[in-house]
């Protein structure tokens, strides 16, 4: 038993070393990716569920790795959060997205806003509003065409400072959404006092619609809650027409998911087939 214990210990410490080394390598590679322009922004359509029309888009980062190909954010965002590179990544994505949105609008496309993800780290440090204002000025995008997505946990972890940060951003005229709603720990009291415009229902609760009774109860409650607070509501991860039917019946205005379109490069967004899920 004793030698077993030692073997296990050796095994784990080697695992940890490998793990730590991989993270260090990833940090170096990611820093280079930023410097060498290997990051890309893809855009996923957001549809009005009533009209079926694409009305907005969400910007999602990818890493075009020279050997590994297109790497999804799930494989590098958490490391970037640990090593602090996430702030630079978010600001880079924000600037690309604002510039792209401006050129879509100039080309005559009618999009309401581009949504950009803001990490907890960037949100909770310093004056994000000043950085956003600078990027808007540099790209010439009107603030009302930008929506910032802040996760529920970022907002609820330190509600007083979150409220001030949200208010400063809102004073710029940008829209604010709480992302992954339902996965954090919102108290209704706190939610009520947050100056935001929208709740995004996490895709974990959309997956089981309309068959799963618990998902039905949760989705309905979030929609009613949003509306009673005067907020709009968007359902993420829509893959089935039945989910759209349910959401429309329950007055959820906006939706996003593979049914409507996957995240794709900017130049492909307006080339696809006309929206097939229309009224
Ligand atoms: P998120 O903000 O919740 O973004 C939605 C994710 O769900 C995206 O994954 C999108 O591709 C995926 N998705 C959309 N529709 C469907 C669907 O119908 N079915 C399924 N199974 N998935 C769907 P993606 O692009 O891999 O991004 C994952 C997460 O990485 C994002 O989740 C967000 O938390 C983070 N992320 C992405 N880009 C950025 C960024 O620029 N900054 C920061 N801080 N985080 C980002
Ligand atoms: Ca998001
Ligand atoms: Ca989300
Ligand atoms: Ca999510």
Q: What's the 160 CA to ligand 3 centre distance in angstroms?
A: 23
CA of 3 to the centre of ligand 3 (A): 47
pLDDT value of residue 254? 98
Distance, in Å, from the CA atom of 191 to the CA atom of 120, rounded to the nearest integer, reads 17
pTM: 0.93
Q: Say if residue 155's pLDDT is above 60.
A: yes
**Stretch among 67-71, 95-99, 207-211 having the lowest mean pLDDT:** 67-71
CB 66 near ligand 1, within 6 Å = no
Q: Which of 236, 259, 265, 277 to mutate to test the pocket of ligand 1 (most atoms within 8 A of CB)?
A: 236
The position carrying tokens 């959309």 is 206
Helix (H, G, I), strand (E, B) or coil at 36: coil
DSSP, collapsed to helix, strand or coil, labels residue 267 as helix
Q: Is the pLDDT of residue 118 over 90?
A: yes
The ipTM value here is 0.98
pLDDT band at 223 (very low <50, low <70, confident <90, very high): very high
Q: Is 179 in the pocket of ligand 1 (CB under 6 A)?
A: yes
Mean pLDDT (whole number) for 20-25: 87
Assign 3 to helix, strand or coil.
Answer: helix
- Distance from the alpha carbon of residue 181 to the mean position of ligand 3, in angstroms: 8
CB of 177 shorter than 6 A to ligand 1: no
Nearest-atom number in ligand 1 for the CA of 72 is 26
What length is written for the chain? 279
Distance 179 CA to ligand 3 centre (A): 5
Structure tokens at 10: 């050796």
- Give the residue ranges of DSSP H helices in the chain: 2-35, 77-83, 86-106, 120-124, 128-139, 152-157, 159-172, 188-192, 203-206, 213-228, 241-249
Which of the residue ranges 111-120, 150-159, 215-224 would you say has the lowest mean pLDDT? 150-159
Residue nearest to atom 17 of ligand 1 (CA): 237
Render pLDDT for 56-94 as a digit per residue (tens, 0 to 9).
Answer: 999 999 999 999 999 999 999 999 999 999 999 999 999
Q: What is the pLDDT of residue 278?
A: 47
- Residue 258 Cβ < 6 Å to ligand 1: yes
The pLDDT, as a whole number, for residue 7 is 58
Q: 216: closest CA among 196, 186, 245, 187?
A: 245
Of 97, 117, 135, best ligand 1 pocket probe by most atoms within 8 Å of the beta carbon: 117
The ligand 1 atom at the shortest distance from the C-alpha of residue 258 is 18
- Gap between the Cα atoms of 224 and 220, Å rounded: 6
Any idea what DSSP says for residue 170? H
For residues 275 and 232, which has the higher predicted lDDT (pLDDT)?
A: 232
Integer angstrom CA distances of residue 54 from 47, 49, 197, 209, 215: 4, 9, 19, 22, 25
Do residues 210 and 246 make contact, with C-beta atoms less than 8 angstroms apart?
Answer: yes
Going by alpha carbons, the residue nearest to atom 27 of ligand 1 is 73
**Centroid of ligand 1 to alpha carbon of 263 (angstroms):** 9
Query: pLDDT band at residue 2, thresholds of 50, 70 and 90?
Result: very low
Ligand 3 centre and the CA of 37: distance in Å? 25
């Amino acid at each position: 038993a004793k030698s077993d214990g030692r073997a296990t210990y050796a095994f784990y410490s080697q695992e940890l070393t490998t793990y730590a080394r991989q993270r260090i390598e990833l940090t170096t590679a990611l820093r280079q990716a930023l410097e060498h322009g290997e990051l890309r922004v893809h855009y996923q359509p957001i549809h009005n569920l009533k009209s079926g029309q694409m009305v907005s888009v969400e910007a999602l980062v990818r890493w075009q790795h020279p050997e590994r190909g297109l790497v999804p954010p799930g494989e590098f965002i958490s490391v970037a959060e640990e090593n602090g590179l996430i702030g630079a990544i978010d600001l880079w994505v924000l600037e690309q997205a604002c510039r792209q949105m401006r050129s879509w609008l100039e080309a005559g496309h009618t999009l309401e806003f581009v949504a950009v993800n803001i990490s907890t780290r960037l949100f909770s440090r310093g004056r994000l509003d000043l950085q956003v204002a600078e990027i808007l000025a540099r790209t010439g995008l009107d603030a009302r065409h930008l929506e910032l997505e802040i996760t529920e946990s970022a907002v609820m972890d330190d509600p007083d400072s979150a409220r001030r940060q949200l208010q400063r951003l809102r004073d710029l005229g940008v829209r604010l959404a709480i992302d992954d709603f339902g996965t954090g720990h919102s108290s209704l009291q706190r939610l009520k006092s947050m100056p935001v415009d929208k709740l995004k229902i996490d895709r974990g609760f959309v997956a089981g619609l309309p068959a799963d009774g618990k998902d039905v109860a949760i989705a309905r409650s979030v929609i009613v809650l949003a509306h009673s607070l005067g907020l709009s509501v968007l359902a993420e991860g829509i893959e089935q027409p039945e989910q759209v039917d349910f959401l429309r019946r329950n007055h959820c205005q906006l939706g996003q998911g593979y049914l409507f379109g996957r995240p794709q490069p900017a130049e492909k967004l307006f080339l696809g087939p006309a929206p097939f899920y229309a009224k």
